[in-house]
Every structure is written in C-alpha cells, then in structure tokens.
Amino acid sequence: MSKKQVKKVDLGLRQFIKDLGYITGGAAMLGTMPWLQSFTPDKLNELKREKARIALIGTGSRGQYHIHNLLLMAHVEIVALCDIYPPNLEVAATLCPQAKKYTDYRKMMESPDIDGVVIATPLYWHAPMVLDALSAGKHVFCEKSMALTMEQCKAIYDTYQTTDKVLYFCMQRMFDEKYIKGIQMIHTGMIGDVVGARCHWFRNHDWRRPVPSPELEKQINWRLYRESSGGLMTELASHQLEVCNWVTRHIPQSVVGMGDIVNWKDGREVYDSVSLTYRYNSGVKITYESLISNKFNGMEDQILGNKGTMNLATGKYFLENDSTSGNSGIEQLLTQIGNKVFAAVPAAGSSWRPETKKEYKPHYIIEGDYNINDGLSMIGAVKDGSDEILSSFCQACITGDKGKDIVEEAYSATMLCLLGNQAMDEQRVIAFPEEYKIPYMHF
Amino acid sequence: MISCSSSYSDENSMFHGSLMHIMGTRFDMLLIGMNRDDAGQLWHSIEEELKRLHLMMNRFDPDSEISRINQHAIQHFVPVSEELWAILQDCRSYHQKTFGLFDITLKDLNKVSFNQEYRSLRFQQSDFSFDLGGYAKGYAMKRLVNLLKEHKVENCFVDFGNSAIFALGNHPYGDSWKVSIGNPYQDGAVLSEFSLKNRALSTSGNSPSYTGHIVNPLSGTFNIRRMLLCVECDDPIDAEVLSTTLMVADKSQKKEILDQFEDTHLKEFYL
C-alpha cells in the first residue's frame, strides 16, 4: 500500500481487487473470497451520488475510529449517534455535528432515516443490539467478536438466515491486502501443505482505561469482567483464529488450553495469560498464545507449510528451500526505472537455485510500502482492513449485497474463542459441539 | 509449486510479471510502453506458455512428457509428441556441433535410438535419462521472444533466474539494456558489462556455494574451477546451450564450436 494511497480511504484495496483480473487464478481467488467480489472501484462508481445513512451505537475510542473513517467516505452520511456515556457522545458529536444524538438505541432504531447501524459497544451488548437492529429492519455492522455466549452467536446466525438485511462483523483481516494476497499465495501452494499455525498476541499493558468514578469501573473496563467480556480470546484471538479457518478452509474439531491471571492481579476476572492448542481432524494444530505482561514477541499470525512459512501479520514469507537468494537484478531494474535512471542490471553467474540456508530470507507479500499492525493499540491500527470492511458495509447498505461468508467466518471464529475459554475454565479437551455446527463448516 | 505475481506502473507504462519456481528458478519480465490491459493479457499468454513448457520438460514431474520417456524408453520405443520430437532433434544437432559436449543424457546421446518414421525413441542402455536443464530455458525464452514480436512489443526485458536474459529494444531511459556481471567470489565486484539490444545473454559458472554442477559428458568429470563465462548472441537457445557447453570445452574445442555460430561473443573470467 503506497503512502500516497493512505488518505484515499479503501481505494488501494479496491484497485488491488480489480488488478486480480490480470493474474492467472485471480478470478478463482475471488471465488474463494466471495466477500470481495463487489469491492471494486467500478462498483463504488456505480453508486453515483447515493449515500448510506449510518447511525453509530457506541462512541468510545473504537466508535470514534470508525467515525474518522466514515467521514472520509463519499458514499456515507452519518445521521445519528448513540451512547449512554455522555463524554464520548459529546466528542463524537463534535466530529459529526449534523448527526442526531440518542441515549436509547432502541429509540434511535425507530427512525426511518437510518439505513445501517454501526455497533461499537462492549461485547455483551452485541447480541441484543444486533438482533434488535435486524428486527428494526436495519443493516448492521458490528464489532467483533460476534457475541458473549455460544447461544447468542447461534441466535444471531439463525436470525441472519431469515433476514434480507446486510450483516457484517468487523473481521478486518478479511479486507487487509496483505492477508488477502498472502492467503491467496498459500492457496496456490506457495508454502506447500499447511502443517500447522502459530499465532500469538503479546502486549505489556494492563488493558485498563482510566475511570473517572468507581461506579463506572465495569462500564468502562468491561473487557476485564466475565459478565461483559470473553477476555483475550474474544478481543484478540478471534481475528487470528478467523485467519486460520480462512487459510485451512476447515474448523478445528477440538481445543485444549490453560488460562491464568499471572501478572495483573487487580481484581480482573479474565485471564491475562492464555495458551491453547486447537486441533483439526487432519492433525494440523493451531498453537495460540497471548500474554499482556511481555511484548517481546509482538503479534504474529504464522502459517506453517511444508515448503515455507507465511507470516501474515508482518507481510513476510520464508521458503524452506529458497530459490531466490541473492539480490534480485530485476528488482534493482524496477527501482532504476522508477527513478528514471539508466544503469546496468546485475546478473549472476549461475541461476538462482535451491540451496541450504542458515537463515531464512524474508520475502514480502506486497511490494512497496504497507502497514503492519504491531498489535499494541487497543483501538485499531492504521490500514488494517477496518476502513475497507466498513466501506464495503456502507456500499452494501445501498446495494443490498449481503457480503457472502462474513457472518459465517465471524460465527466460526467466535465459537472457537468461546470454546477456548471453556477449555481453559474446565481444564479439559473440548470437542466442537454438534448443536453449534453450521453447514458452512468443514471439519 | 509455481506462483505468479504482477504489477503495473502507470508512470512508466511498465508491467512487471514474475513467476517463482518455474524451470527450477524464477522468471521475470518487464514490458515497457503497453497499456495495463494489453500487458495483462499478454502476460497471461506468456504465463500459460511457460507453465506448459515447464510441464513438458520438467524431469522431476512424474506426469511430464520427458518423465514418461525417462521411465519407459529403456523397455521399449516410446512415441514422442511433435514439439518434443523437434526439441530432441535440435538437441542432437547441438550435440553434433559441440562434438558431443552438449549432451542431454549427460552421458552419450549416441546411445539413444531415434525412429524418425514413427517419431519414437528408445534408450540402448539402462540408467539413461534425458535432462533438458541446459536447453529448456533457452527454448522457453525463444518461444516468448517470438510471442513478444507477434504482439509488436518493442521494448522488453526478459530474465530467467538472473542467468538467461533477452533484451528486446531498449530501456525507457537508454538506447539499450545494460547488464553487469558480478564476481560471485567477491561481493560488489563487477567483472564486465554488456549493452544488449535484441540480443540474448546467458551466463554459467561456479560460485562459492554452488560448484561442480556442470559435467563433461565425454569424461564424466565436473568442472570445479573458479570460473564464469558469458555468451551473447541473437538466439536464446544458442546462448543457453553454449554457456553450459563451453564451461567444459578446452581452448581448441571452444574455437571450433564458436566458429559454427555467427555473431556470437564469449567472455570468460577465471576468478
């Protein structure tokens, strides 16, 4: 993603998807990522001057992050804002003064002037708000994870089967260029057969927000309490487990793990240290770790193949037998021409070939500049797909295009998070429950 | 597994297509002056052609035609497709012109029986197989150059693994394409520079990490000298065949071989 494109919200990814038409397998790739089919510059142009009328529920840091992105989209008009916490609502209102303010989301949904709602509230509010919004005839975009409990997730999934409304969950990696291209590379065999996955998210932060008054502790620090949060699993792991499902096109059959409060013994209820193993029927495993009292390892999504390793979060991949060691003459030539320089292309004595290596040479999924999420922000990273998926949702509010597979991916990932929590709580191997399997899932 | 990527720069009307793991290496092509759509379509044709040739000539792929021959030609005559037959006859011709130093059996091509009438062949002794390693990239390059010319491409740089190059027309900011040859035993040291215009360049040599990979089929010995050579000529197949063969030819053989190829330049470096 070039720096020049950063300010043009989502156009880089749209052009990238259009460009897939120029490569072999591009159309086939879109077939395996159907939610991207209509995410092209042409489709955006077809909207002409139509605008999706969007209301936001939840105007905290993440809600404001979305507002900033929405304000850059020509096909969007923010018409309403809702929050029960006045300071946040006031900040949001200064960003979009024309929007009507609400403190009761149900009241807001009675308005016929709203096409879609964006929900950026604590996890325990997701299910009631999503279901109420769909029931009110609104298109819905909701933050991840899908919901706090498996029952709620299933209720949302079942309701979605009966509605003609659009429903998105903010699984932004599905709209992140380096993930899209990297997973395309995996699916075309770049790293061979997938034999494992190692995902982790490490921070060194207490995960707390300042609380102006003690009675607001659970409202503001909702992430730390079990009645409102699934902890590290639903807040962080959900993205990474979704990626594993996307890569393998399968769902793990079982999970085992251990969770503890190791460092932040401050009255919180959710684990600050989790280690889990998810096992697919093939024997392939996802090793998942998250710790928020050491950030040395950062955040990574590593897909391990028998011919290479794709590190999707950092946008790099490494080959077991690298046939491209040495400086690429063609890359130097590209740079020369870009700089309008006529110089010699360096050639080698013998062809690049597989050879034994002591260190793996990184290759980049995307040429040129791109953004890496270091995983440290509690709000959201720059250009991590969040604005693209939101743009796609707003486009869908106008076209009615339901965004194939997004709900299913969110449902699957959230279920795995909740099963992981159950495995850690009960300290036993948990098999994926039959009653929560959906036709989309392959085991 | 072959993988592909491509990009287009509007500023220089420049299309870059790349294939990894094709014919044992990588392939890159820079097309200059074509619009995005035309370049994309042409790239698609080239990609398909390269994959087709890879499949035909890859002896490590059990489903390739060359593998089928290698598996069965010791037992009986094996019929050969028209294109591969023409390739094998071309290889026989190079075998003769190089006094047996270019040999796709790496042993003795004379011990293969060719039946012209039935377009079939058989190995006369066991432990025989074809290896088109010193020929395939040149052949693929020649096919691609013809394809480029059919599409009226004027300026293009084609690079097979950084060792087999064809330069069509010129660099967008120069009157040719310049290629420098680095010393594999000394980082950053340049041995020579070529200015190519509608010409092929092929290099062969040993390097610290890759030595003794070219065999003299007549003696069965491998060249392990610290040396590198470059062949520049019009025909990519000539360049590919000669760069490999001349690695194992002695001084008089080199002269006699080169005398048979017009407008061909050899540069040798002993390192």
Q: Where are the domains of chain A?
A: 3-174+384-407, 191-376+408-436
pLDDT-derived band at A358 (thresholds 50, 70, 90) equals: very low
d(CA A287, CA A269): 23
> What average pLDDT does this structure show over A325-340?
74
Q: Look at residue A57 in the predicted model and tell me its pLDDT.
A: 98
To which residue do tokens 């008054």 refer? A213
How far apart (Å, rounded) are the C-alpha atoms in residues A85 and A67? Answer: 17
CA–CA min distance B203, chain A (Å): 5
How, if at all, do strands B227-233 and B199-205 pair?
A: antiparallel
Q: What is the model's pLDDT at position B5?
A: 82
Q: What's the whole-number mean pLDDT along residues B251-260?
A: 94
The answer to whether the beta carbons of residues B153 and B166 sit under 8 Å apart is no
pLDDT in tens, A38-93: 788 778 888 878 999 999 999 999 999 999 999 999 999 999 999 999 999 999 99
Distance, in Å, from the CA atom of B207 to the CA atom of B162, rounded to the nearest integer, reads 14
Q: Give the per-residue pLDDT at A307.
A: 86
Rounded Cα distance, A78 and A357, in Å: 54
Q: What is the band of A370 on the pLDDT scale with cuts at 50, 70, 90?
A: low
Cβ–Cβ < 8 Å for A140, A165: yes
Per-residue model confidence (pLDDT) at position A287:
98
Q: What integer pLDDT is reported at residue A348 of this predicted model?
A: 65
| CB nearest to A348's CB, from B7, B137, B163 | B163
A364 strand-pairing partners? A316
pLDDT at position A369 over 50: yes
On chain A, the residues whose CB falls within 8 A of the CB of B193 are 344
On chain B, the residues whose CB falls within 8 A of the CB of A341 are 173
pLDDT tens-place string over residues A151-165: 999 999 999 999 999
Rounded Cα gap, residues A419 and A433, in angstroms: 9
Q: Buried (b) or exposed (e) across A15-49, using 16+ Cβ within 10 A?
A: ebbbbbebbbbbeebbeebebbebbbeebbeeeee
- Per-residue pLDDT of B132-159, as tens digits, reads 988 999 999 999 999 999 999 999 999 9
Q: Which residues pair with A204 in a beta bridge?
A: A293
Summary mean pLDDT of chain A? 88
pLDDT > 80? residue B183: yes
Q: Which of B164, B179, B228 sits opposite A344 (nearest CB)?
A: B179
Quick check: B203 pLDDT over 70? yes
Q: Does B11 have pLDDT greater than 90?
A: no
Is A249 or B183 the better-scoring residue by pLDDT? A249
- Peptide bond just before A323 cis, omega within 30 deg: no
Contact B3 A188 (CB under 8 A): yes
Burial class (CB in 10 A: 0-12, 13-18, 19+), A119: buried
Q: How far is B260 from chain A (nearest CA, A)?
A: 24
Interface test with A, best of B135, B162, B166, B211 (most A CBs within 10 A): B162
Mark out the alpha helices in A340-405 (DSSP H runs): 386-399
Class of domain A3-174+384-407: alpha beta
- C-alpha separations of A14 from A42, A53, A173, A275, A392 in Å: 9, 22, 15, 37, 10
DSSP symbols for A161-217: HT--S-EEE--GGGG-HHHHHHHHHHHTTTT-SEEEEEEEEE-BS------SSGGGH
Angstroms from B123 CA to nearest CA on chain A: 29
Question: Which residues, 6+ apart, have CB-to-CB distance to A357 below 8 Å?
Answer: A322, A325
Cβ-based neighbour number of residue A266 at 10 Å: 12
Determine contact, residues B230/B112, Cβ cutoff 8 Å.
no
The answer for residues whose C-beta is within 8 angstroms of residue A101's C-beta and 6 or more apart is A80, A81, A82, A89, A93
Tell me if B162 and A351 make a contact (CB, 8 A cut-off): yes
* pLDDT band of A328, cuts 50, 70, 90: low
Per CATH, the homologous superfamily of domain A191-376+408-436 is Dihydrodipicolinate Reductase; domain 2 (3.30.360.10)
- Long-range own/partner contacts, residues A208-217 (CB < 8 A, 24 or more apart): A208/A266, A216/A85
As a whole number of angstroms, the distance between CA A152 and CA A274 comes to 24
Q: What's the burial of A312, exposed, middle or buried (CB within 10 Å: 0-12/13-18/19+)?
A: buried
Site from A330, A336, A355, A361 to mutate, B interface, most B CB atoms within 10 angstroms: A330
CA distance B30 to B32: 6
Please tell me the predicted confidence (pLDDT) of residue B214.
74
As a whole number, mean pLDDT of residues A412-420 equals 98
Question: How much is the pLDDT for A367?
Answer: 66
Q: Which residues 99-138 on chain B approach chain A with CB closer than 8 angstroms?
A: 137
Kindly tell me if the per-residue pLDDT of A3 is higher than 70: no
Task: For chain A, say whether B82 makes contact (Cβ under 8 Å).
Answer: no
Measured in angstroms, the CA of A351 and the nearest CA of chain B are apart by 5
Nearest beta carbon to residue A337 from set B7, B172, B182 = B172
Residue B228 predicted with pLDDT over 70:
yes
CA distance B102 to B84: 17
Chain A residues touching B14 at Cβ < 8 A: 334, 337
Please name the residues in contact with A347: beta carbons below 8 A apart, sequence gap of 6 or more. A329, B159, B162, B163, B165, B179, B180, B181, B182, B201, B203
Per-residue pLDDT at A2: 37
The CA distance from A443 to the nearest CA of chain B, in Å, is 26
Task: Please indicate if any CB of chain A lies within 8 Å of the CB of B270.
Answer: no
H/E element, B9: strand B3-9
Query: Any CB–CB contact under 8 A between B25 and chain A?
Result: yes
Looking at the predicted structure, is the pLDDT value of residue B253 above 70? Answer: yes
Q: Among residues 213-232 of chain B, which lie with CB inside 8 Å of chain A?
A: 213, 228
pLDDT at residue A15 in the model: 73
Segment holding A28, helix H or strand E: helix A26-32
- Report the chain A residue with the minimal C-alpha distance to residue B21: A323
Does A191-376+408-436 match A3-174+384-407 at the fold level?
Answer: no
Residues 181-220 of B with CB under 8 A from A: 181-182, 184, 190, 193, 201, 203-207, 209-210, 213
The DSSP secondary structure of A291-326, one letter per residue, reads ESB--TT-EEEEEEESSEEEETTTTEEEESS-TT-S
With CA atoms as reference, the chain A residue closest to B3 would be A190
Nearest residue in chain B measured CA to CA from A306:
B1
Q: Which of A344, A164, A175 is nearest to A243 (CA)?
A: A175
pLDDT, one tens digit per residue, over A180-215 is 888 988 887 778 899 999 999 999 999 999 999 999
What are the residues facing A28 on neighbouring strands?
Answer: none
* Average of per-residue pLDDT across B159-171: 91
Is some CB atom of chain A closer than 8 A to the CB atom of B60?
Answer: no
Closest CA to A261 of A276, A251, A271: A271
Of A40-44, B102-106, B225-229, minimum mean pLDDT range: A40-44
pLDDT at A382: 64
| A351/B209 CB distance under 8 A | no
Three-state DSSP at B115 gives strand
Interface pTM (ipTM) of the complex?
0.84
Q: Quick one: pLDDT at residue A192?
A: 87
Asked if A353 lies within 8 A of B24 by C-beta distance, the reply is yes
For the cut 60, the answer to whether the pLDDT of residue A385 exceeds it is yes
Q: Which of A19, A188, A330 sits opposite B159 (nearest CB)?
A: A330
User: How close B122 gets to chain A, by Cα (Å)?
Assistant: 31
Q: How many Cβ atoms from other residues are within 10 Å of residue A368's Cβ?
A: 11
pLDDT exceeds 50 at position A4? no
Task: Compute the nearest-CA separation of A240 from chain B (Å).
Answer: 25
